[in-house]
Amino acid sequence: MNTPLCSICLKNYPLVCGNCQAKIQSGEVTELGVKIARYLVDLEDKIPTLKGVTFRRALQTNGLVVVLVGRGDARRIVGVNRRILRQLEDELHASVRIVEESRSAQHILSDLLHPVRILGVNTIWLPDNSFERKVRINPRDQSQIPISLAQLEKLVYELSGERIRVGFD
């Protein structure tokens, strides 16, 4: 399991080395991130499929925890029959979404909204030469979105750096 903190610091938290302390003070690693990393490292001994999984960071908003993992690691961390994901939700007492690291806001958004299907994505060019993406979703799927649209847009911005707007068509 690869985590932002070194393995010795994870085991001895809150006693951490200088590098890990800098990551914590800069906000790159949060208390929630440390808790999830420690839990996943403990699970790694029992569940061998977690070996080699990369945990990047965790974000929380209104009872939803978003766990950012490396590319290709989402299936491994969800586990067979969603077993690992359910254990993580029980540990955190919150709903958890696993998101793979990506530069594309559309990929991140599709991981956050799963099983809601994205109908289309349009690029809106703004006068200052920047752009936003307008994401269209079927109105029938509105009830399946776990958080408000504003929170969803903020999460996608934090994870990808792209501004999006979600609309229903």
**Mind listing the pLDDT tens digit for each residue in 33-50?**
999 999 988 888 888 888
- d(CA 148, CA 71) in angstroms, rounded, equals 26
Interior angle at CA 114, CA 82 and CA 27, nearest 5: 85
Pairing of strands 131-137, 118-125: antiparallel
Which three-class secondary structure state does DSSP give residue 28? Answer: coil
**Mind listing the pLDDT tens digit for each residue in 49-77?**
888 899 999 999 888 999 999 998 888 88
Top-tier CATH class for 1-101 = alpha beta
Token digits for 49?
């499929």
What's the pLDDT score for residue 27? 87
Q: Is the pLDDT of residue 106 over 90?
A: no
Is the pTM here over 0.75, yes or no? yes
